[in-house]
Amino acid sequence: MKYTTATDVKAYPSVPDTANADFIDLLINRASAYIDKYTGRKFGYNPAAVPAVPYEIITDEPNSIENWGGFYLRNFDVKAITSVKVGPNNTVYTANDYTFDALTGRFYIGGEAYDQSYNAVKVSYTYGYNGIPDDIKFACEQLVIAMYLGGATNTGEVVSERTGNYQVNYASPSTVSQKAPAVMDILKEYRILHI
């Protein structure tokens, strides 16, 4: 998903109105993909349109879910946990039987209801962001502008891209991001870290 538009990027004084829109779109795709990869999240999906996602974790040893302190759900921003089933009989757990940290995505099963011999947990949940957060849009625009202006062209990390008859070489976003620390500050706030 694109986190901004060529029109919005061209609204910045450093990008001329005559800039090739196809080329700007190419940079937007690249910056958006970089944001997804760096943060580990995808933005701009309507949670109402995303069905509940079953996520199953099976460990090799009984007690291991309890011993390693839980696991992390793969998708963000979790809107609702619709069901939790544990063990071979799919025993239904209620919100009193587990803990979920929405900030980190960490899901922990515990308490008296937890049968430690079970090593399978199935969590169904809905997730997604309502629209693209403003700071993510801004970060994408800043990455695109940095790439457009060639902010890191002497790094040796140059890539060739072609759109129709138009071809250009530009630095990778990871190098450009070093020239845009404010962008990295924004993205770090969304980055999923699994410790």
Domain residues of the chain, as ranges? 6-44+132-190, 47-127
Whole-model pTM: value is 0.60
For 93-126, give one letter per residue: b (16+ CB within 10 A) or e: beeebbebeeeebbbbbeeeebeeebbebbbbbb
Tell me the mean pLDDT per 10 residues along the chain, length 195. 93 92 94 89 65 51 47 75 81 85 74 53 78 91 89 45 65 59 87 66
CA distance 175 to 128: 29
Quick one: pLDDT at residue 1? 84
Quick one: pLDDT at residue 174? 55
